[in-house]
């Protein structure tokens, strides 16, 4: 099962002005794999995640997702992105649309589904995140946790092959975090390829196939949760984990 | 610098052309456009409908009519402020100028004049009880004159000698009003005109008549329209011979001279409204027409140029920047003069008055709209575009479905504001002679001299119109926000 490489990022460099935030980052992810990226704020993990669907420009390197080169001028980025779901820290639901329309907008706009089919599918995903009764509400009427679950349903509606999560629980009240993580765990169990930036160490331990530790724009260490959490090799990882876990 | 001028001209020309009725090339030689003044009694007396089509439109208009008939040519009239006519002549907006214009050496530098059709002198006019008995009493006083007129030149030339200050006003009526309201102590204007006004009930006293006499003649741009000038001269000679000329002069200046029909009418507010209903109505209609057409076009243009300000293209962003800077900076009146008087000399044909008015309002208001449209779009959280793009939705579709609906809500109050500004802005177009509400007010006052009452009526009309617009906008906005 873990044979096909669905994401291949090679030697990514990226600077914001004089500040080099990604220094030669390479990462490959197999189909069905769950990769959790941890590390201090400003270490470049979110920026790296955003390069995986072309939301950031890069200075050097290559990203291949699903067999297509993202930073190639000839590639149709809109089409590539239909295979890559993304969930943001601040949900970014469309406040001008109902929950249902949030979920079906892209599928209809990109002609991924007919409107009827889109609605059917949306109901399925909203059921999955346990929010089908909120279908006709607007985002402003939902709690943070509910919003993030809608955002997940919205991404799933496009039937992506990969899901990217950019600190999906960082903006949530603590009591909301559990519901969102539960949905993500369920996705992982169903075999979704997932790349997750998070500070939820417990979740990382439970769900990740591989944990990647970012620091100073580089991948310092990568391995199974046991390897990284229990026997960290790099002193930077050790320092980070001590600070995070002993709070 | 040259480049900027060229760019501005090009932009204005483009927008003007876009809403221009297809330009008619110089029509058959026997049809002319003649410039004349907003009411200058007894030379030009506008009818209730704001035109000179009535039975007794004044000396100038009757002479012109008789000559045209005699020489078999036809003409359209362009009605504007006296000072604007010479500019219009220079720019080619009009072929000739029939506006009781006195022949002076300065004017002969740029204009060719016909044979004299009458001689006109100036008088000093004061209120009947005034202490001013001669020019010597003008020390420290204020004298009102009409901008661009011979009276102005004369007043300026004797100003130091007698030690008075000059008020420059845009028409004989405002100048006389200035005296009757006490803003000015005296006015200098054409004797004939002042006499006619007095005959029509204005309480003024003349000091001296026919001073500084000048011949009055028809004018064309120097070196151009010689054929028209020739026809005028020939026609003038003919109507002098056949008695038509004498009849006209007697009608307006004789002992039993014509008086304005407005004199004996009811001077209550209701009476003024009733007596001038067609003018008020024409004014309101024109104001509404101008506002609606301008708002619609300005919104479309403004939204597009606003979008230019946010799309990822340096060229379009630059265009947005230049456009909004220029048209937010130019005062509306200057812009209207530039389009109506300036552009024709640049592109070589006339611009219809309504088109020029609409172009002015569109350029000005679309620049403001473009600014707040761009601002409104930028105020939408960046994450909204990212979320939509991350789903594979194209840039344009994201704009349309996600960004614009959110931006429009923040823009709605600015739009309403802009529409109100556009409505009020129509009044400035009276400067180029558009017969909208303000211009009609000027014309009505020129006939009945009831400045205060008429301006109050006009003010009330603006309040009602803007009230309606506000109400309508509120409705639309409420409907829209309920839908969300």
Which residues in A lie closer than 8 A to residue B409 (C-beta atoms)? 96
Which residues in A lie closer than 8 A to residue B411 (C-beta atoms)? none
- Asked, for residue B19, whether it belongs to a domain, the answer is no
Peptide bond into B42 cis (omega under 30): yes
A contact set with B (CB within 8 A): 53, 55, 78-82, 84-86, 88, 90, 92-96, 105-106, 109-110, 112, 138, 151, 154-155, 158
Which residues in B lie closer than 8 A to residue A94 (C-beta atoms)? 384, 387-388, 401-402, 406
Q: How distant is the Cα of B418 from the closest Cα of chain A, in angstroms?
A: 24
- Asked, for residue B18, whether it belongs to a domain, the answer is no
What Å distances lie between residue A123 and A113, A131, A140, A148, A167, CA to CA?
14, 9, 20, 16, 26
Q: How distant is the Cα of A54 from the closest Cα of chain B, in angstroms?
A: 8
Does one domain contain both B256 and B298? no
Q: How many domains does chain B have?
A: 3
Give me the mean pLDDT over the A69-90 stretch. Answer: 93
Does one domain contain both B362 and B462? yes
- Asked, for residue A56, whether it belongs to a domain, the answer is no
Does one domain contain both B315 and B171? no
Q: What is the ipTM of this complex?
A: 0.93
Nearest CA in chain B to A160: B391
pLDDT for residue B23: 43
pLDDT in tens, A131-166: 999 999 999 999 999 999 999 999 999 999 999 999
Does one domain contain both B315 and B430? yes
CATH code of residue B385: 1.10.3720.10
Q: Which of B229, B263, B297 is the last residue of a domain?
A: B263
What Å distances lie between residue A143 and A131, A137, A180, CA to CA?
11, 12, 12
Nearest Cα to A170, choosing from A143, A203, A197?
A: A197
Backbone angles phi, psi at B38, to 5 degrees: -70, 140
Does one domain contain both B67 and B97? yes
What Å distances lie between residue B94 and B35, B69, B75, B103, CA to CA?
6, 19, 10, 19
Residue B32 CB partners (closer than 8 Å, separation 6+): B73, B74, B75, B76, B95, B96, B225, B228
- Asked, for residue A17, whether it belongs to a domain, the answer is no
Which residue range forms the structural domain that includes residue A118? 84-160
Q: Quote the tokens at residue B94.
A: 């009009």
Q: Report chain B (484 residues): mean pLDDT per 10 consecutive residues.
A: 58 56 50 86 78 86 92 89 82 89 88 92 91 90 89 90 90 84 90 85 84 90 90 93 90 69 68 88 94 96 95 93 96 91 80 92 96 94 95 94 90 90 92 87 79 92 93 81 53
Asked if residue B207 lies in contact with residue B133, where contact means CB atoms within 8 angstroms, the answer is yes
Does one domain contain both B134 and B106? no
Does one domain contain both B98 and B147? no
- Asked, for residue A127, whether it belongs to a domain, the answer is yes
Does one domain contain both B92 and B145? no
- Asked, for residue B235, whether it belongs to a domain, the answer is yes
CA distance B193 to B205: 13
pLDDT for residue B197: 83
Q: What one-character-per-residue DSSP string does A147-188 give?
A: HHHHHHHHHHHT--SEEEEESTTTTS-HHHHHHHHHHHHHHH
Q: How distant is the Cα of A11 from the closest Cα of chain B, in angstroms?
A: 23
- Asked, for residue B3, whether it belongs to a domain, the answer is no
Nearest Cα to B294, choosing from B339, B236, B258?
A: B339
- Asked, for residue B16, whether it belongs to a domain, the answer is no
Which residue range forms the structural domain that includes residue B432? 274-483
Q: How many domains does chain A have?
A: 1
Asked if residue A52 lies in contact with residue A62, where contact means CB atoms within 8 angstroms, the answer is no
- Asked, for residue B5, whether it belongs to a domain, the answer is no
pTM of the model: 0.71
pLDDT for residue B13: 60
Does one domain contain both B278 and B292? yes
């Amino acid at each position: 099962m873990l044979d096909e490489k669905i994401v291949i990022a090679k030697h990514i460099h990226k600077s914001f002005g004089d500040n080099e935030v990604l220094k030669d980052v390479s990462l490959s992810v197999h189909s069905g794999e769950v990769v959790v990226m941890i590390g201090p704020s400003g270490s470049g993990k979110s920026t790296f995640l955003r390069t995986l669907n072309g939301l950031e420009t890069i200075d050097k390197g290559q990203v291949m997702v699903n067999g297509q080169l993202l930073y190639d001028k000839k590639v149709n980025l809109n089409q590539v992105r239909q295979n890559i779901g993304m969930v943001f820290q601040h949900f970014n639901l469309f406040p001008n649309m109902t929950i249902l329309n949030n979920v079906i907008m892209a599928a209809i706009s990109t002609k991924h589904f007919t409107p009827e089919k889109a609605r059917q599918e949306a109901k399925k995903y909203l059921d999955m995140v346990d929010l089908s009764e909120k279908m006709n509400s607007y985002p402003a009427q939902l709690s943070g946790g509910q919003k993030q679950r809608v955002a997940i349903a919205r991404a799933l509606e496009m039937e992506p092959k990969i899901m990217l999560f950019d600190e999906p629980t960082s903006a949530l009240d603590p009591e909301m975090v559990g519901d969102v993580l539960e949905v993500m765990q369920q996705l992982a169990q169903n075999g979704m390829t997932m790349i997750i930036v998070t500070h939820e160490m417990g979740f990382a331990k439970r769900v990740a196939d591989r944990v990647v530790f970012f620091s100073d724009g580089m991948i310092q260490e990568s391995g199974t949760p046991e390897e990284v959490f229990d026997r960290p090799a790099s002193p930077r990882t050790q320092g980070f984990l001590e600070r995070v876990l002993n709070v | 610098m040259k480049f900027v001028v060229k760019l501005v001209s090009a932009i204005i020309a483009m927008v003007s052309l876009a809403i221009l009725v297809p330009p008619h090339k110089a029509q058959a030689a026997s049809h002319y456009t003649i410039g004349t003044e907003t009411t200058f009694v007894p030379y030009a007396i506008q009818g209730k409908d704001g035109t000179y089509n009535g039975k007794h439109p004044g000396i100038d208009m009757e002479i012109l009519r008789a000559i045209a008939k005699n020489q078999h040519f036809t003409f359209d009239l362009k009605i504007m402020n006296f000072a604007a006519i010479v500019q219009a002549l220079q720019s080619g907006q009009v072929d000739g100028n029939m506006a009781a214009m006195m022949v002076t050496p300065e004017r002969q530098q740029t204009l060719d004049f016909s044979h004299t059709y009458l001689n006109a002198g100036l008088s000093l006019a004061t209120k009947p009880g005034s202490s001013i008995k001669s020019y010597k009493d003008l020390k420290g006083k204020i004298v009102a004159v009409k901008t661009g007129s011979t009276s102005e030149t004369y007043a300026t030339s004797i100003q130091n000698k007698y030690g008075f200050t000059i008020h420059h006003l845009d028409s004989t009526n405002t100048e006389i009003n200035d005296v009757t309201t006490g803003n000015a102590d005296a006015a200098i204007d054409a004797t004939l005109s002042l006499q006619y006004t007095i005959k029509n009930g204005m309480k003024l006293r003349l000091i001296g008549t026919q001073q500084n006499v000048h011949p009055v003649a028809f004018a064309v741009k120097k070196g151009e329209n010689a054929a028209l000038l020739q026809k005028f001269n020939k026609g003038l000679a003919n109507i002098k011979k056949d008695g038509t000329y004498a009849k006209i002069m007697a009608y307006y200046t004789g002992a039993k001279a014509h008086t304005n029909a407005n004199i004996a009418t009811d001077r209550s507010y209701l009476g003024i409204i009733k007596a001038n209903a067609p003018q008020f109505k024409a004014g309101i209609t024109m104001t509404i027409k101008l506002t609606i057409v301008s708002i619609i076009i300005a919104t479309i243009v403004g939204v597009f140029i606003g979008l230019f300000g946010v799309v990822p293209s340096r060229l379009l962003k630059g265009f947005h920047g230049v456009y909004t800077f220029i048209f937010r900076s130019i005062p509306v009146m200057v812009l209207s003069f530039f389009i109506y008087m300036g552009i024709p000399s640049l592109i070589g044909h006339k611009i219809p008055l309504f088109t020029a008015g609409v172009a002015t309002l569109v350029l000005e208001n679309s620049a403001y709209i473009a600014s707040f449209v761009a601002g409104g779009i930028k105020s939408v959280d960046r994450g909204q575009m990212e979320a939509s793009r991350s789903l594979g939705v194209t840039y344009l579709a994201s704009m349309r479905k996600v960004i614009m609906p959110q931006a429009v809500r923040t823009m709605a109050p600015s739009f309403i504001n802009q529409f109100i500004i556009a409505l009020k802005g129509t009044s400035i177009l009276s400067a180029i002679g558009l017969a909208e509400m303000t211009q009609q007010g000027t014309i009505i006052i020129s006939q009945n001299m009831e400045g205060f009452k008429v301006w109050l009526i006009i003010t009330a009309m603006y309040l009602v119109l803007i009230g309606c617009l506000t109400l309508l906008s509120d409705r639309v906005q409420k409907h829209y926000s309920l839908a969300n």
